Amino acid sequence: MTSVRFLTLEHVNPRHRYGSTRLRVHNLLRYWPEAGLWRRGDRPDVLVLQRVYRRFPRAPLTILDISDPDWDADWRVMDAVRQVDAVTCPTPGLAEFLRDQARQVLVIPDRHDVAALPAPREHHGRARRVVWFGWHHNAGPLSQLVPAVERIGLDLTVVSDRDPRADRWAIQPREFRRRYFYRRFEWRSIHKILGGHDICLVPRSGVPSDEFKSDNRETLSLLCGVPTASCPATLLTLANDAAARSRLAAEGRSWALANRDCRQSVSDMQTLIARLRSSTTPHPASRTLADPASTAEGGR
């Protein structure tokens, strides 16, 4: 039996809890009894590094999982990419960027544990409440939608690790005249919070690295039966049309259940490991392995 261990970002930074560690490690371990978290002294057959780029132990096979463009903050990322046997990442855009440096790249999307989802939200009448959630330092693009939220007369809830107004938004006071409701982000409550709103706001920053970003926030909203809006026009349409909200939420939830179940990620990782272990020749330097669900990737 092949022993697999994950060395995670949370192991390196134990004071923090990261969504990427939950989505790309903890969710998988619920359905992968042969795998586990790395502990000092472990000598696994396969070591998966989840956003760990330096001072990592060696193993017969080493896989690096990159879920964000971390090379912005740590130049060692690309060094690590060249040292490992394969790289996994959540988006085709990120895979395209990495493939010239990595031996193999496999797209494994961020996926959720769909086994214990709440009942999806039902939509009736005009929308009243919208929600945005994410890290406080990513709240800047929300300024694109706040004026429309005000004009339509919607209540806005911001769910984050800390109140963005005290940080990033303090430099844009005129753009955030309307009071919003702040809730601290907790995984144990996020499904209930999302399900209590009519629309989830997912504005884009408009920078090139957007193509590297995962769709995990959109997917989580859809799994809760809440449609998403990334621009004022879509927001206005959804706010006034309960049938459109219901249709988009149902279609999106069906797609997410079919393509974003974390048990699919377990299968993807097991297939990659089997391929690496059976390989007897050096891997092509620029080969990219496609995500089986990549046909749906561009539309989400």
The structural domains of the chain, with segments of one domain joined by +, span 4-111+261-299, 129-259
CB 29 within 8 A of CB 4: no
CA distances from 287 to 58, 61, 100, 282 (A): 23, 17, 8, 11
Angle between helices 216-223 and 187-195 (to 10 degrees): 60
CB 145 within 8 A of CB 235: yes
Contacts of residue 73, defined as CB under 8 A and 6 or more positions apart, other chains included, come to none
CB 102 within 8 A of CB 85: no
- What is the distance of C-alpha 25 from the center of its chain? 12
- What is the distance of C-alpha 129 from the center of its chain? 24
Closest CA to 52 of 28, 18, 94: 18
pTM for this prediction: 0.85
pLDDT tens-digit profile, the chain (300 residues): 789 999 999 998 888 888 999 999 999 999 999 999 999 999 999 999 999 998 889 899 999 999 887 766 566 888 899 999 999 999 999 999 888 888 899 999 999 999 988 899 999 999 999 999 998 888 888 888 988 999 999 999 999 998 877 655 555 555 555 578 999 999 999 999 999 999 999 998 777 667 788 899 999 999 999 999 999 999 999 999 999 999 999 999 999 999 999 999 999 999 999 999 998 444 443 334 443 333 233 333
CB 255 within 8 A of CB 295: no
Handedness of CA 93, 207, 249, 164 (dihedral sign): positive
Whole-number pLDDT of residue 283: 42
Whole-number pLDDT of residue 108: 97
- Residues 202 and 251: their CA atoms lie apart, in Å, by 17
CA distances from 188 to 116, 185, 239 (A): 12, 9, 27
Contacts of residue 29, defined as CB under 8 A and 6 or more positions apart, other chains included, come to 6, 35, 36, 37
- Residues 9 and 16: their CA atoms lie apart, in Å, by 9
The fold for domain 129-259 equals: Rossmann fold (3.40.50)
Whole-number pLDDT of residue 140: 83
CA distances from 86 to 90, 104, 148, 282 (A): 14, 5, 44, 12
CB 53 within 8 A of CB 20: no
Whole-number pLDDT of residue 172: 57
- What is the distance of C-alpha 57 from the center of its chain? 26
Whole-number pLDDT of residue 300: 31
